[in-house]
Structure 1
Amino acid sequence: MPQAPFGPAGSGTDKSTDILGALLGPLPEGWRESRPTAAAPGAAKTHPAPPPRAPGAPETPWQLGRDSWMAVVKRVIHQFSSDRVTSVAGGVTFFGLLALFPAITALVSIYALLADPSTIAGNLEMLDQVLPEGAMELIEGQVSAIASASGTSLSIAGVVAILAALWTANGGMKALIEAMNIAWFETEKRGFIRLNLMSMAMTLGAILGIVVMLAMIAVLPILLNTVLAGGWGETVVGLLRWPLLVGLLLVGLAVLYRFGPSKDDAVWQWISPGALLATAGLLVASALFSFYASNFANYNETYGSLGAAIVTMMWLWIAAMVVLVGAELNSEIERQIKIENGVEPKDDGDLSGN
């Protein structure tokens, strides 16, 4: 009596026949419809449409509710430890300190092309209220030394010196960019040339912003005194110094938070919660550390001639942490908006409490 080619489960039939049947037997009906269709060579790639926005879901940070903000704050606190913000800020501080003096060299050299370089030290006096004494002394000494040697004409040697200083200062900006990638959970996808062009443009933009602000402080009183009687020009400029500084910080942080992380879907924001927090934090933290360093800590007794450098390094470390916390805040706000819109699932370790 002939045996069936495929015995029932549990029979003594050799199971190799089942495997052969599965491999060589006819395909089930509808198999082609269940498989994705391959794109033709050269055809444009298509991406699935994003899910529809949930009714009432926020589109901007300012539309988040109280519970959403609490979730964001909890995650920022968690990520401060998880992303090792203090250690990352230490790395930024190291490269920032290496980049500080070349940046000052480039700053004074460019400023000398627009105004008398000997006036730059006086225009920096407004920073006395926020920078610690040791850091201010170090910066003023370097500025004065470079200003006394700077010329007011642009030569080939001067251009080379400025470019060399910018390239060295570029290392500090690249360290900040890497820190932005950590805050946004991104890996660097830009090539060597594109990354360096981006960081160089941001470095040059930051220096030019400071130069323009200092030049305005130097030139505006002269212009306003020709229009306003009674020497009101200096009074008006004195009132405008802090708004100019705050505006410069906001614009600089907006550029850093937009172009720093290697994100394909980054969105420009003139004023973001992270930039507001970082701007206020930089001013407050700098003033508090300046008060502490001047009244309680005596770094010169502990570190001797290195006291001013240590104070500067501590201030850079605090400033780097504040900027990173602002980046973490923007990152978690963006994540919260995606969660509430159904774009990003809430994982098991989510600290939102919802």
Structure 2
Amino acid sequence: MGAAGVAAGALAYGWMAAAKPARDLETPDERARGREADTPVQIPPLGWKDIALRVYGEIANDRLLAVAAGVTFYALLAIFPAIVALVSIYGLTADLATLDGHLAAFSDVAPQAGLAIVREQVARIVTKSDGALGFAFAFGLGAALWSANAGVKALFDALNVVYEEREKRSFIALNLRSLAFTVGAILFLLVAFNAVVVLPVALEFVGLGHSAELLLKLSRWPVLFGCVMLALTLLYRFGPSRRRPKWRWAVPGSLLAAALWLGGSIAFSWYAENLATYNETYGSLGAAIGFMTWIWMSVIVILLGGELNAELEHQTAIDTTAGAARPLGARGARMADEVAD
């Protein structure tokens, strides 16, 4: 289809939208569905029922499982350059020999076979000489970050599908934003790894040495949940190519996705260790298949949270986007510009 065809289609769509009679969103039935909700908690139960049904339908309409599989492919291509970048930066702040031990902190939420693959790559990089690592940092860090950046851009594309948007950002703007997320994720891991070392020492210093281990065990899961939820909220707010939603409209999906990811990861890790037969079925590829499946499930959960946020915005006629309030059709975000039937 040429440019003229695209333009004609757009004009036809605009004519049909204009010809559609305006709905009265102030009737008792519409109000009972949350058309005047300014926050997600103001949506009545009938509105939540509408949202749940639409989210269920959008899983098929948006081909969520297939889209997640595409993101998984790019994530697998990006993960090893990301490891190179992580190890290169980590070597500037701590002893590389301790990195493998810090990876054990993820043993409860990631399959052991997948962690084994990551540890193998870490060991391969760590065994290089100091000069090689310096060369990697000086000349290879940029390339590694750029390669890892592809996985984040794939996730942005998937969120555009979820929010029914097309990519409108320029090449430079898109890559600057995705690189910011990539670098931010790596820096977060660096802080987390160093906290594993610093926290016990700090607790010992203030006289909580005997209680330190118990405190760390009890606080690990709430802290992890909070960090994942914060990361997802940022992703939902800044990832899609649209006018940003207000913070409160990005939180419900983050809450759902963080809970599903944490619970699902623990369950899948147990399943992969005790019941799965990946090695028997796939032979030497078993570990890679298990790791890939875990990433795929993680992406599905992230996109599901995005679907919830999108349909929440779709439920109300109140402007859900950041900044000054705008009328329907002028908000720069399709799910905020239209009210669901």
TM-score (norm 2): 0.80
Counterpart-to-counterpart distance in 1, 2:58 and 2:282 = 33
Instruction: Give the drift of 1:200.
Output: 0.5
Whose Rg is larger?
1
Q: Distance in 2 between matches of 1:239 and 1:112?
A: 29
Q: Is the 8 A contact 2:278 2:289 kept in 1?
A: yes
Aligned to 2:93: 114
Residues 314 and 339 in structure 2, CA contact (< 8 A), matched pair in contact too? no
2:145 pairs with 1:145: no
Give the conservation status (yes or no) of the 8 Å contact 2:38–2:318.
Answer: no
* Aligned equivalents of 2:263, 2:193: Cα separation in 1: 22
Rate the CA distance shift 1:340–1:270 in 2: closer, same or farther, 3 A: closer
Identity of aligned residues (%): 45
The equivalent residue for 2:267 is 288
| CA gap 1:269/1:104 in 2 versus in 1, 3 angstroms | farther
Answer whether contact 2:111 2:268 (CA < 8 A) is retained: yes
Report how many residues are paired. Answer: 298
The 1-side partners of 2:129 and 2:199 are apart by: 23
Task: Write the distance in 2 (CA, Å) between the matches of 1:209 and 1:345.
Answer: 37
Distance 2:271 2:71 in 1: 23
Give the aligned partner of residue 205 of structure 1.
Answer: 184
* Alignment counterpart, residue 224 of structure 2, candidates 245, 249, 252: 245
Query: Which residue, out of 236, 241, 251, partners 1:257?
Result: 236
Taking a change above 3 Å as real, the CA distance of residues 254 and 340 of structure 1, as seen in their structure-2 partners, is closer
Secondary structure class of the residue paired with 2:247: coil
Distance 2:168 2:309 in 1: 20
Residue of structure 1 aligned with 2:137, choices 158, 163, 182: 158
Superposition pairs of residues 40-119 of structure 1, within 5 angstroms: 57-119=36-98
Runs (5+) with no aligned partner, structure 1 = 1-52
Q: Which has the higher helix share?
A: 2
Q: How many angstroms apart in 1 are the aligned matches of 2:171 and 2:207?
A: 52
Q: 1:219 aligns with which of 198, 207, 216?
A: 198
Question: Deviation digits for residues 198-250 of structure 1, max 9, x if unmatched?
Answer: 10001111111111111111111112212215443343333332233222211
Residue 169 (str. 1) matches residue 148 (str. 2): yes
C-alpha RMSD of the superposition: 2.7
Letter in 2 for 1:338: A
- Report the more deviating stretch, 117-126 or 151-160: 151-160
Superposition deviation, residue 285 in structure 1: 1.3
- Matched residue SS, 2:37: coil
- Stretch moving more, 336-345 or 280-289: 336-345
Q: Separation in 1 of the partners of 2:85 and 2:306?
A: 27
Q: Which moved more, 1:216-225 or 1:325-334?
A: 216-225
Per the alignment, residue 41 of structure 1 pairs with none
Shift of 1:97: 0.5
Moved beyond 4 Å, runs of 4+: 53-56, 150-157, 339-342, 344-347
Over 3 Å counting, the alpha-carbon distance change for 1:121 and 1:346 in structure 2 is same
| Mapped partners of 1:346, 1:276: distance in 2 | 23
